[in-house]
Amino acid sequence: MRVAFAAGLSIIDWIFALALVVGAGYAFVHDNEHMNDYDKAVMIGTVPALVALGWRWKPARLMMASIAVLSLLSIQIYQGDLARADSAFFLKYFLSSQSAILWMSALFVLAT
C-alpha cells in the first residue's frame, strides 16, 4: 500500500517550507513598495515551486539555503553603496566581479 506524499514528509521538510514562506512574507511586507505587480506574482509563484523542488529533491534545500545566506551576506557587505563592489574583498573576488563569474563558470563545468 502506498503512503500519501504528505504523510512521508519529515519535520525538516515542513521547517524548510515554513522558512521559505516566512522569508517571502518578510520580503513582501518590507519591500512591497519597491515591487510592481509582476515582481509580486513571481514571488508568490516561486515559493510553492521551491517548496515542491525542495521536497522532491532534498539536496536542493542545501543549495537554496546557501544561496540565501550568500545573498544576505552580500547585501550586508554592500551597505547601500554599489561602489563597495570594487573595494570589499568578498564582493570583489567572490560574488560581484568578473573573477566571480569565472569561478561560477569553472565550478559549473566541474560539476557536470
Written as tens digits, the pLDDT of the chain (112 aa) is: 566 777 778 999 999 999 999 999 999 999 989 999 999 999 999 999 999 999 999 889 998 999 899 889 988 988 888 888 888 888 887 777 777 788 888 888 888 7
* Residue 1: per-residue pLDDT: 55
Write down the pTM of the prediction. Answer: 0.75
* Residue 42: per-residue pLDDT: 95
- Produce one character per residue of 76-98: b if its CB has 16 or more CB atoms within 10 Å, e if not: ebbeeeeebbeebeebeeebbee
Tally of CA atoms within 13 A in the half-sphere of 57 that contains its CB: 6
- What is the rounded (10 degree) CA torsion for 100, 106, 111, 112? 130
Grid coordinates representing 41 are 506574482
